[in-house]
Amino acid sequence: MQYSLEVRIELKKGVIDAEGETVKKTLNLLGYEVEGVNTVSVYVIRLSAESEEEAMEKMDEAARRLLANPVIQNYSISAVK
For the chain, the structural domain boundaries read 2-79
Order the strands of the 73-79 sheet from edge to edge. Answer: 40-48, 2-11, 73-79
Residues in CB range of 42: below 8 A, 6 or more apart:
6, 7, 8, 9
pLDDT at position 81? 83
Strand pairing category for 2-11 and 40-48: antiparallel
Query: Domain 2-79, CATH 3.30.750.80 — does that match?
Result: no
pTM of the model: 0.87
pLDDT at position 10? 98
Query: What does each of the 81 residues of the chain score in pLDDT, given as a tens digit?
Result: 999 999 999 999 999 999 999 999 999 999 999 999 999 999 999 999 999 999 999 999 999 999 999 999 999 999 998
Report the first-to-last Cα separation within the chain, whole angstroms: 14
Residue of 4, 6, 5, 11 whose CA lies nearest to 68: 11
